[in-house]
Amino acid sequence: MTNESMGPQDSGAHVESLSAITLATHDMPRAVRFYEALGFRIVHGGANEAFTSFALGSSFLNLTSETHGPIQFWGRVIIYVSDVDAFYRMALAHGIEPQFAPRDAPWNERYFHLTDPDGHELSFARPL
């Protein structure tokens, strides 16, 4: 990026922190037992849910259930930004095409996903 190109500071949106890492599992009950045995505290979901979130300091470790065939999805990195909609517009302005427009989630975050050039899924979010 050159000094003349638009950067995050130009849009008013910027990266604030790593919010969470989401990992895929074929067996949510087994995975939940594993993380609970290590002392992780569930804050959303549980052994019988498709999505579970554990407190990890000020961040989270999430599990998502992948039930068909081999796990094709390694996981996702969730990054908190100052303004999700402004960050989305900045990505578009740089020719980056997110998977969908920002939306509000039932777990009280506004977010959107995009995939980096190597196929890693990134989620940019902000608590509501």
CATH code, domain carrying 40: 3.10.180.10
- pLDDT tens per residue across all 128 residues of the chain: 333 444 444 667 888 888 888 888 888 998 998 888 877 899 999 999 999 999 988 899 898 888 777 767 677 888 899 999 999 998 898 888 999 999 999 889 999 998 876 577 889 999 99
Rounded-to-integer distance, Cα 90 and Cα 106, Å: 25
Closest CA to 75 of 115, 114, 23, 1: 23
Rounded-to-integer distance, Cα 82 and Cα 60, Å: 18
The tokens describing 82, both together, are 């100052």
User: Does a structural domain hold residue 58?
Assistant: yes
Range of the domain at 79: 19-127
Domains identified in the chain, total number: 1
**H or E segment and range at residue 37:** helix 28-37
Residue 15, φ and ψ in degrees, nearest 5: -70, 135
User: Does a structural domain hold residue 10?
Assistant: no
Record the pTM.
Answer: 0.65
User: Does a structural domain hold residue 106?
Assistant: yes
User: Does a structural domain hold residue 7?
Assistant: no
